[in-house]
Amino acid sequence: MLLFFGSGGVNRSSVIVSGIRLPSILQWYRSNKNNFTQPIASQFDQYPVHISDQYRYHYELDLNGTLKINKIQIDDNDTYECRLILIDRGLLDIKEKYFIYLRVNEKPRFLNVSSSISIVEHYSTINLFCDIYGVPEPIVSWYKLLKDDLQLLLINSKYFILQNVDDRLAGRYKCIGNNSLGSIENDFRVLVKDPPLPSSTVSIKNLTLIRNNLGIAPCLLESYPHLESVSWYKNSTAIQIESKGLYTINTEYSLIIQSVTSADDGFYFCRAQNSEGFGYSSTFYVETKEPIKFILKPNDIYRVREYDILTMSCVANGNPNPVIKWFRV
C-alpha cells in the first residue's frame, strides 16, 4: 500500500475566513489518465468520500485527505495532484495544491531495438540501439560475442556505433540492460558483404577416408551473400561433378565420393562464387585407408586335453597394418 498525504497537513476543520468557518472540497487528480480534469477521489466538507468508478476498489481517501493506493501496479505510474478548494459565498477558491510524482519500480523492458541482422558494405557505418525502460533507469551495456566469452565494448549508452566496418568487426553483438530488479538482453549480427573466404572458426589440414565407403570432404568457406556455385579441385585439377557419377556435391557444398579408393589420395580445395566475387578454401590432404579385414580368425571353440599345446591363429589385413591384441574373458 502507498500513502499520499493531502493538503500538506492542513486541518480542513480549521479553515476560517473573517471568523467564519468555510466549507471545503479536497480532490485528487491524475495527469496521464485525465490531464488533471476529472478527480479520481474527492470529499466535500464532512460528507462521505467519493471515489471514481474506475478506481473504486483500488483507491481509498481518508478523512484527513490521505490517498491510499492498494496493491500498487505499474499502471499507477503518474503525476498526482491534491487540491484543497474553499467555498466562499458560492465561489470556488483553490487554497492549496500539491503535486506528487510517482514511479513504481519496474524490471527492464524493451521499448525499441534495431534490426537483429545488419548487412553492410565494407567501410560503412552501423548504428545499433537498445531503447530499454525500467525503474530505476537501466544501465545499458554493449558486448561482442567471442568464441567463449563476452568482450565489453561500451557502458551506459542505448546507442552503439560501428564505423569503417570491415571483416574484423563482423560478428555477433549483444546489449544488456540492468537495474536492481533484473536484466534483459538482445543479440545482433553484423554481416559484411564479401567474396567467399576460408572459414575463421573451422579448418582441417588432413582428412582420413575409408576405402570402399562413402567419403565426405567439407567446403569450409564463410560467405555473405550466400554461395551461388562451387567447384572442387584435386591436386589443382578440376574434379568432374555428375549427378549420378562417382563425385557429387551436396546442399552444403561438400564433395561426396560414392566409393573411396586409393586413387582419391591427394590435396583438395573448393572454389566458390557469390555476388561479390570468387574465393578459395584452404587446401587439405585426403588420405585413404583400408578397413580391417580378417584373413584368418580363431575358432569359436577348441577342445583339447590337459597339458596339450594349443595354437590359435588370427591374421588381419588393413592400411595401416592392424595391431592384433589378445584378451582372456
Q: What is the CATH number of the domain that holds 141?
A: 2.60.40.10
Residues 213 and 281 in one domain: yes
Instruction: Among 102, 132, 150, identify where a domain stops.
Output: 102
Residues 11 and 98 in one domain: yes
Please report the pLDDT score of residue 91 as a whole number. Answer: 61
Please report the pLDDT score of residue 304 as a whole number. Answer: 87
Residues 200 and 173 in one domain: no
Residue 114 lies in a domain: yes
Residues 174 and 206 in one domain: no
Residue 281 lies in a domain: yes
Residues 143 and 128 in one domain: yes
Residue 175 lies in a domain: yes
Where is 122: in which H helix or E strand?
A: none
Residues 269 and 184 in one domain: no
| Domain that residue 207 falls in | 196-290
Residue 7 lies in a domain: yes
Residue 312 lies in a domain: no
Q: Could you tell me if 120 and 170 are in contact, meaning their C-beta atoms sit under 8 angstroms apart?
A: no
Residues 209 and 281 in one domain: yes
Residues 10 and 91 in one domain: yes
Return left, alpha or beta for 63; rule: phi > 0 is left, psi -120 to 50 is alpha, else beta. Answer: alpha
Residue 249 lies in a domain: yes
Q: What is the mean pLDDT of each run of 10 residues along the chain (329 residues)?
A: 48 44 84 85 88 90 86 89 81 78 92 94 94 95 92 96 92 96 96 89 93 95 89 96 92 95 96 94 95 85 88 83 86
Residue 321 lies in a domain: no
Residues 131 and 81 in one domain: no
Cα–Cα distance for residue pair 313/326, rounded to 1 Å: 11
Distances (CA, A) of 104 to 71, 74, 88, 134, 176: 11, 6, 39, 9, 21
Residues 188 and 251 in one domain: no
For the record, the C-alpha cell of 320 comes out as: 595401416
Q: 3-state SS of the chain?
A: CEEECHHHHCCHHHCEECCEECCEEEEEEEHHHHCCCCCCEEEECCCCCEECHHHCCCEEECCCCCEEECCCCHHHCEEEEEEEEEEECCEEEEEEEEEEEECCCEEEEEEEECCCEEEECCCCCEEEEEEEEEECCCEEEEEEECCCCEEEEEECCCEEEECCCCCCCCEEEEEEEEECCEEEEEEEEEEECEEEEECCCCCCCEEEEECCCCEEECCCEEEECCCCEEEEEECCEECCCCCCCCEEECCCCCEEECCCCHHHCEEEEEEEEECCEEEECCCEEEEEEEEEEEEECCCCCCCCCCCCCCCCCCEEEEECCCCCCCCCC
Domain count, the chain: 3
Please report the pLDDT score of residue 215 as a whole number. Answer: 96
Please report the pLDDT score of residue 13 as a whole number. Answer: 42
Residues 137 and 203 in one domain: no
Residue 241 lies in a domain: yes
Residues 160 and 216 in one domain: no
Instruction: Among 192, 219, 254, identify where a domain stops.
Output: 192
Instruction: Among 192, 216, 237, identify where a domain stops.
Output: 192
Is the pTM higher than 0.85? The answer reads no
